[in-house]
Structure formats: structure tokens, C-alpha cells
Amino acid sequence: MRARPPELVRCPGPGSVKTELPDLRTEIPGPRSRALSERLARVECPEVTFQGDSMIFWERGAASNIFDVDGNRYVDLLAGFGAASLGYAHPELSEAAARQAETLQHAMGDVYPARVKLELLEALDRILPGDLGYAILSQSGSDAVESAIKTALRVTGRARIVAFEGGYHGLGLGALDTTHRAFFRDPFAARLPRTTQFVAYGDAAAVRQALAAGEVGAILVEPIQGRGGIRPAPEGFLAELRALADEYGALLIADEVYTGMGRTGDWLACSAHGVLPDLVALGKGLGGGFPISALAGRAELMKQWGASSGEALHTSTHLGNPVMCAVALRTLEIIERDQLLERARGLGSELRQRLEHAFGPECVRGSGLMLGAELPDAARAERVVTEALREGWIVLCEGERGCVLALTPPLVIAEKVLWSGVDTLARIART
């Protein structure tokens, strides 16, 4: 059992709340987490939640802190899979959600939409580069990728997609066909259309070959492979894909579910490469931790869906849910007002330097506040994750071999807390 004096560190920007260093009051996991985990095992499909000996149940969050059911306080260095980019219980997001829920919690998104759906779509139109101003809203990142796959087929009439080894685009059956890892695909192989051709990430010549074989409607790429191990696209690669897509009449789809909405220091990570995709999938940080996603596309392409006949061809009951839209809208406003793109760039570059110092420059990669440190093997990485949790720091490993320590903290995380986290991870990794 460890106890530490709390240290209060303020985040920048109005409306922010304090972040504190970890404060552990029980062994980890504590008795309440253990008891809940036994209950969960009786009611949830066993494949869903990992019943290892580190499972803690979250009770509440504040800024970059998580409190578990045993009263232990952690720092989340992942922003909950990269989604809680404004941290937890941001007072303005809570207020936006509560106000909208009290006013109108549900609408008929594709028949009688809420006004706030329009306001969110207009905000996306304003912040996204180029003419990526026509969008389809949805709930998960996987949904946004499904919208992209359908749009590509609708526009080009060609079903094949070029995607990349190490790529992750979600687990819905359409998106799954473009997700590379065998672990996810193999059990459902009989259900996959297998219209995706995978090529090595960074290999433009292989992409050209795949396009030359014909029938390719789209190239689907992550500017930084997130779940693939925080692997950034090599210099010039996205521009080459843009040129190849144009040459062969295919669409360039950027999956920015992880990288987008400020995580790498821009609204879109593609922008740092000077590349404008035809379609972009957004999720995670778009809703500041609330489930909303979007596919945004060039007007000229999105119009090729044609007008709704009254029976929308691609929709869902909760499309444009007013509470999710209100929170996403407020998230975008706060990111702009509090200059969090700039903060992600500045803090990210210092984080990178510190990680390079701690783990060696050759092991560190990513950009903005989406960084990874590659450890020698999965066993070491797993040990760092487990021991870090036992000291109150939440991190995970990514990559097919599971040996990349991923750091995707809330964009508002307090610097001192972050540096303390890096020191802790480095110390654990060394021992």
C-alpha cells in the first residue's frame, strides 16, 4: 500500500480543473474492484473484459485523474484510449451534456433532427481543411470507417480497398475487413468479403502495384498507426498516396479516428504532411469521451450519395444524438478557445524529448500528444503497464508484438504530473 501527499497542479485555460499525482490507499486492485470483477464475470461475455489480476473498476474522473471504487487516485496517461482529450468531468462538457439532456435527449436524426446536429456539422465544416465539409455522423470509430467504405463504393463503383499491414480501423464486419491483425480477423474470416489488399505501411511501390491490378476504390490509411504501435507514416508517404489515388481514380481515406481532433497538434494529422484526403474518419476525441464519430468528405463526393428518398440509405437510430452533438460542439469550442492544438504541439515536443532521454531516441516515435516508446519485448512492456498501475499510472501497450508503450494523455494534462509519469515509467522500465 502506498500513500503520497497530493500535489495540486492546475491545467491551463479557463474552466479547467486540477490534476493531482496518484494517491493509492489500498493494494491494487483493491477489495472492491476484486469483488466487482467476480460479479462482472457472472454477467458479461467473458471475452470482453480482461479478467487479469490488475482489473480496477473506475468510479469517477476529474481532469486527468481517475478514482477507482476503492478510493485510489490514478493519472490516466492515455485519455481513455485517446478519447477523453479534455480529461474527465470537464465542467463545461458536463454542463453541456446536462443542459442538452434536460432539453432534448434524443431526436430523429435523419428525419427530424435536433438543431444542435446542424451546429456540430457547421463547426466541423469550419474547422476541417479544404472542402471536407459534408459529413455523416455516427457513434463509433468503426461506424465512421463503415461510412467511408460505403462512400467509396458509392462514388467509384469499385469494391476493393488498399489498406496497410499493422492498420486498425475497427471491428464492425465492414471495418474489420480493413483491419489487418489476424487476431481480430481470423475468427470471423468466413464472414469477411476479403476485398481489402494489405500492403506494407510506407511502401508506395506496393500500393501502385495494387492499384494497377484494378478495381480499387480507395486507399485507407492512418497518418500514424495507433493500435499498430504508434507508427507514423514515413516522410512523404501520405503525399505519395494522394498522388497515386489521383492517378488511379481512387479515393484517399484518412482514418483519423485516433490522430484527429487535436491529438497530434492539428485538427487533422494529414495537415502536417500537406495532404488533403477525400474522406476522413473521426471519432475518439471528437466527443471528448462521449460516443460520437463522423465521416467527413469532400462535398463533390458526398453529394454522389444522392438525396434521401425519405428512407435514408445509411443511418442509425441514434445518428446525430443531441447530447453527443452538444458535447462534441463544446469540445471543439474548448479546443479552439484554450489553444489546445498549440498545447498538443508544444507539450508533445517536450514530452518527446523527455521520452527520448528516458528510453533512447531510437525507441520513441509519434507526434504531438500521441507518442510511443518501444521496449525490447512484450514481457517488459507488460511489466511496465502492470507496475505503473500499481503506482497509480494508467498506460497500455500497443503494436502487434505488444511492446510499444503508448502515451496519449489528455490535451489538458498538467505538465508536472506528466513529467512525473515519464520518470516513473522510465524507472520501472530500467529495473
Ligand X SMILES: Cc1ncc(COP(=O)(O)O)c(C=O)c1O
- Residues at the contact surface with ligand X, assessed by CB under 6 A: 140-142, 145, 168-170, 222, 226-227, 255, 257-258, 283
Q: Are 27 and 1 in contact (CB under 8 A)?
A: yes
CB of 2 to ligand X, least distance (A): 31
Measure the CA–CA gap between 205 and 202, rounded to whole angstroms. 9
Residue 401 main-chain phi, psi, to 5 deg: -90, -5
CB of 281 to ligand X, least distance (A): 6
Q: Ramachandran region of residue 366, left (φ > 0), alpha (ψ -120 to 50) or beta? A: left
Q: Are 408 and 348 in contact (CB under 8 A)?
A: no
CB of 83 to ligand X, least distance (A): 8
Of 222 and 387, nearer to ligand X (C-beta) is: 222
The residues, ordered by sequence, that sit 6+ positions from 225 with a Cβ below 8 Å of its Cβ are: 164, 166, 167, 168, 201, 231, 232
CB of 245 to ligand X, least distance (A): 18
Size (the chain), residues: 431
Of 229 and 265, nearer to ligand X (C-beta) is: 229
CB of 411 to ligand X, least distance (A): 17
Of 145 and 414, nearer to ligand X (C-beta) is: 145
CB of 299 to ligand X, least distance (A): 23
Q: Which of 259, 277, 196 is nearest to 223 (CA)?
A: 259
415's enclosing H/E stretch is helix 415-430
Of 170 and 320, nearer to ligand X (C-beta) is: 170
CB of 31 to ligand X, least distance (A): 31
When CB distances to ligand X are compared, the closest residue is 141
Of 2 and 150, nearer to ligand X (C-beta) is: 150
CB of 283 to ligand X, least distance (A): 5
Of 147 and 197, nearer to ligand X (C-beta) is: 147
DSSP-H helix ranges across 322-395 = 322-337, 340-359, 378-390
Measure the CA–CA gap between 421 and 172, rounded to whole angstroms. 34
Of 142 and 156, nearer to ligand X (C-beta) is: 142
Of 164 and 248, nearer to ligand X (C-beta) is: 164
Of 242 and 263, nearer to ligand X (C-beta) is: 263
CB of 77 to ligand X, least distance (A): 16
Measure the CA–CA gap between 309 and 48, rounded to whole angstroms. 39
Residue with cell 511492446: 403
CB of 141 to ligand X, least distance (A): 2
Q: Are strands 393-394 and 73-76 parallel, antiparallel or unpaired?
A: parallel
Give the CA angle between residues 320, 324, 330 to the nearest 5°.
Answer: 115
Write the DSSP string, 11-59.
PSSTT---EE--B--SSSS-HHHHHHHHHHHTTS-TTTS--STT---EE
Residue 344 main-chain phi, psi, to 5 deg: -60, -40
Of 285 and 392, nearer to ligand X (C-beta) is: 285
CB of 161 to ligand X, least distance (A): 14
Of 280 and 385, nearer to ligand X (C-beta) is: 280
281's enclosing H/E stretch is strand 279-282
Decide: residue 42, CB within 10 A, 0-12 exposed, 13-18 middle, 19+ buried.
exposed
